[in-house]
Amino acid sequence: AAIGKGNFRHFMEKELHEHPVVIGDTLRRMVDPSTRGIALPELPFDFARIPRITISACGSAFYAGLTGRWWFEAIARIPTDGDVASEFRYRTPPLPDGGLGLLVSQSGETADTLAALRYMREQGQHVLSIVNVPESSMARESEAVLETMAGPEIGVASTKAFTAQLVVLACLALAAARARGTIGAAEEAALTGALLEVPGRAADVLEKDEALQAIAARLVQARDVLYLGRGNCFPIALEGALKLKEISYIHAEGYAAGEMKHGPIALIDPTVPVIAVAPSGPLFEKTASNLQEAAARGGQVIVFSDAAGAAKLKGIATETVVLPDVDPFVAPILYAVPMQLLAYLVAVLKGTDVDQPRNLAKSVTVE
């Protein structure tokens, strides 16, 4: 049957509103409801024996992969590397015997990612794909597949597929951590519990569009926007900037907050909004001091944080969006939602073709 927009203006808006359901459906596939522990389908390798994970993908899927890298390293203590597929495939990196190659793709057809997959196989890797289309080329050529339960995504700029990819990666990292004994049962249950709260919190965030509307009105005037984040939210700053570029055609850069002083700080003046992806967590104070540096140079700092973080940044923020409290482990999943929604609202104000932005394709099947 043909897929409609329902009461929404654009497919992207409809798909943004599907975040809670998609995250819930994806989790249901990977969490055992009785034990509330991670229960993945059986995988053809043992995480305890994986010497290294190599992640490759393109676009938003790559940013999901970068977040995954953070989780695999921090929680499962597995050395993990990641690169965009168009670079990875030609870098010809040597890969350790029996390592894990991990591909992330909505379509499962992106030419560079498929080439990266084939290279990983040649290098003797176990190959696992996270895809939204189970009959795709990548799924067929992989040793194992984990499906994101996002359903068809029509908007060219990825939304719900991205958060579903994050959910799969988070669950996979927990499974790896259990296999390697790097977390105990209590911690696993706590982190799984944090994941199970995300659908409800994402629904709360989607109610925030009034606060975001005011920020969108500010951004639509800008020529350049800087997105800053750290740790597992650095990829969310990258995703926020990519989304804004893709659909509103406003130049945006995502940067690691601590790296700002090595370049982008030179751009900061009152005309360059600085979006801070700054949930409370172990790196919050570090990000706060970077934001202080931006504010001291006249930057308009727009803060996305929880109530505690927002209170601490009150003195320097031009605008603040208070998001629900969540465990820092799942913050990237939740914070992706307002980043995408904000880009959407800016694009609507600009009157661009939101679902079919110029020069972009949903699935890039040629190199």
Q: Which residues bind ligand G6P (CB under 6 A)?
A: 58-61, 105-107, 110, 113, 156-158, 360, 362-364
Residue nearest to ligand G6P (CB): 59
**For ligand G6P, which is the closer residue by CB, 76 or 170?**
170
Rounded least distance, CB 362 to ligand G6P, Å: 6
**For ligand G6P, which is the closer residue by CB, 57 or 294?**
57
The length of the chain, given as a count of residues: 367
**For ligand G6P, which is the closer residue by CB, 39 or 360?**
360
**For ligand G6P, which is the closer residue by CB, 86 or 192?**
86
312 is a catalytic site residue? no
3-state secondary structure the chain: CCCCCCCCCCHHHHHHHCHHHHHHHHHHCCECCCCCCECCCCCCCCHHHCCCEEEEECHHHHHHHHHHHHHHHHCCCCCEEEEEHHHHHHHCCCCCCCCEEEEEECCCCCHHHHHHHHHHHHCCCEEEEEECCCCCHHHHHCCEEEECCCCCCCCCCCCHHHHHHHHHHHHHHHHHHHHHCCCCHHHHHHHHHHHHHHHHHHHHHHCCHHHHHHHHHHHCCCCEEEEEECHHHHHHHHHHHHHHHHHHCCEEEEEEHHHHHHCHHHHCCCCCEEEEECCCCCCHHHHHHHHHHHHHCCCEEEEEECHHHHHHCCCCEEEEEECCCCCHHHHHHHHHHHHHHHHHHHHHHHCCCCCCCCCCCCCCCCC
In single-letter form, the type of residue at position 106 comes to Q
Rounded least distance, CB 196 to ligand G6P, Å: 25
**For ligand G6P, which is the closer residue by CB, 16 or 274?**
16
Measured between its terminal Cα atoms, the distance across the chain in Å is 31
Rounded least distance, CB 85 to ligand G6P, Å: 8
Pairing of strands 300-305, 126-131: unpaired
Rounded least distance, CB 60 to ligand G6P, Å: 4
Rounded least distance, CB 84 to ligand G6P, Å: 10
Question: Which residues are registered as beta bridge partners of 221?
Answer: none
Rounded least distance, CB 15 to ligand G6P, Å: 11
Q: Which of 5, 286, 312, 362 is catalytic?
A: 362
**For ligand G6P, which is the closer residue by CB, 113 or 305?**
113
* Active site positions, annotated: 362
